[in-house]
Amino acid sequence: MSKQSPVHFHRMKDMPSTHLLGTGTPMCAGCGGLETLHTLYDILGEKTVFVNAAGCMTLLSVYPFTPFRGGWLYTSMGSAPAGAQGVRDALDILLQKKKLSAEEDVEVVVITGDGAAYGMGMSATSAAMDRNLDFIYLCYDNEGYGNTGQQYSAATPHAAITSTSKGSHGYPGYKKDLFAIWAAHNPAYVATVIAAEPLDLAKKIERLQSLSGPRMLISLAPCPTGWDYDPELSVEVGRLAVRTGVWPLKEYIDGEVRHTKIPKQRQPVEDYLRLQGRFRHLFEPQRDEAGIAEIQARVDAYWKRILEE
């Protein structure tokens, strides 16, 4: 894929003013994943093929409708990066044999949820990075198997109530550090993003457009349905995920991790937790001081380590 000359995103008014992705999709109101996809698609444009794994976004393209103006290929839950491999290799073969012109070439974009990215699709993703596949991967991480009713996944945060962790203490495990796992492969690019910070997101998309090889994005995807909050709060929940330090915005490039938005005065995590029904048990019927303190301590420890580096 020939690399485009970058457009510079400095201010909000530099952002695309209209969306390329069609409307009327079956995504839930307030879907944080769809917001990230809008921005990604607006910037990448229609010369793209989205290779999808089973998840919420599979329902974007239901015969005979699609919101995409370019390509779409649904694969399976575990093998979207392998689908991207087949598509990319075929495009390269056709380019080499002069059966496809450079203008006809397309960017291959894997789009999966956290269920695929953190679990079933992990070996396919790891291997795509081993092979230095030239592709973009967007994981919309809503911290559970959302499409089946929000069962806990390896992306679920500690203490979250899910439909398979309904007990009074929620999910006993801890969210897996996918960023570190992906970065350990030394791909061209890895970043965490969130739609509620659109400029940070746009700059990262711009950066990955100037690179080739595996370019990996993990977008925290606030999920009104799975996290149990009013859809109108999606942007607020997203902003608080960043301002409380729960979702650090960072990127990995050339062996270095750089934090792209360090909250100056971190808000207490409970500002983030309190908005979401999945954490209500930390506040009602009585406040679980120890539970909240544990989550706060983990976030504090992370930032202490980062700020001391």
Partner 1 sequence: MTAKLLTGNSAAAWGARLAPVDYIPAFPITPQTEIIEDLAFWVDRGELDARLVTLESEHSMITAAAAAASSGVRAFTATSSQGLLYGMEMIYTVSGWRTPFVLVNVSRGLASPITLESDHNDIMAARDSGFLQIHCATCQEIADGVLIAYRLAEHPEVRVPAIVNLDGFYLSFTREPVDLPDASKAAAFVGEYDPENLQFKGNTPLSQAMAVLGGGPYSYFRYETHLAVERALSIYDEVIEEFAATFGRRYDKIDAYCMDDADYVFIMLGSFSTKARDAVDSLRAAGNKIGLLRPRLFRPLPAALLRQWLRGRRAVAVIDQNISMGMGGILHSELATALYGIDKAPLLASYIGGLGGRDISQQEFFAIADELNLAYQQGAAPPVRLLYTRNEMTEMRKLQAIAQAEHAEIRQAEGKS
CB of 129 to partner 1, least distance (A): 11
Per CB under 8 A, does 33 bind partner 1?
no
CB of 31 to partner 1, least distance (A): 17
> Rounded to an integer, what distance in angstroms lies between the CA atom of residue 89 and that of residue 91?
5
Pairing of strands 256-261, 71-74: unpaired
Give, as ranges, the residues between 99 and 128 that touch partner 1 (CB under 8 A).
Answer: 99-100, 103-106, 123-124, 126-127
Q: Candidates 64-72, 236-244, 278-286, 291-299 — which segment interacts with partner 1 by CB under 8 A?
A: 64-72
CB of 136 to partner 1, least distance (A): 15
Per CB under 8 A, does 132 bind partner 1?
no
Which of 106, 101, 69 minimizes the C-alpha distance to 87? Answer: 106
CB of 81 to partner 1, least distance (A): 8
Per CB under 8 A, does 49 bind partner 1?
yes
Of the pair 55, 238, the CB lying nearest partner 1 is at 55
Residue among 3, 6, 29, 46 that touches partner 1 (CB under 8 A): 46
List all residues 6 or more positions away from 303 whose beta carbon is below 8 Å from its beta carbon: 245, 248, 266
Question: Is 19 within 8 Å of 38 (Cβ atoms)?
Answer: yes
User: Which 3 state secondary structure label does DSSP give 154?
Assistant: coil
> Rounded to an integer, what distance in angstroms lies between the CA atom of residue 8 and that of residue 210?
12
Residue among 15, 16, 58, 186 that touches partner 1 (CB under 8 A): 58
CB of 286 to partner 1, least distance (A): 45
Of the pair 68, 303, the CB lying nearest partner 1 is at 68
Of the pair 85, 276, the CB lying nearest partner 1 is at 85
CB of 233 to partner 1, least distance (A): 29
Strand partners, 256: 253
Quickly list H helices, the chain: 32-44, 80-96, 114-115, 122-130, 178-183, 198-209, 224-227, 234-243, 269-273, 289-308
Which of 24, 83, 27, 26 minimizes the C-alpha distance to 53? Answer: 83
Give the long-range contacts of residues 155-159, CB within 8 A, separation 24 or more.
155/114, 155/115, 155/117, 155/118, 157/246, 157/295, 158/294, 158/295, 158/298, 159/279, 159/281, 159/282, 159/291, 159/295
Per CB under 8 A, does 51 bind partner 1?
yes
Site string for partner 1, 65-104 (x = CB under 8 A): -x-xxxxxxxxx-xx-xxxxxxx-xxxxxx--x-xx--xx
160 phi and psi angles, rounded to 5 deg:
-75, 135
A 10 A CB-CB count for 295 gives 22
Of the pair 31, 51, the CB lying nearest partner 1 is at 51
Tell me the site size for partner 1, rule CB under 8 A.
47
Residues binding partner 1 (CB under 8 A): 46-47, 49, 51, 58-59, 61-63, 66, 68-76, 78-79, 81-87, 89-94, 97, 99-100, 103-106, 123-124, 126-127, 130-131
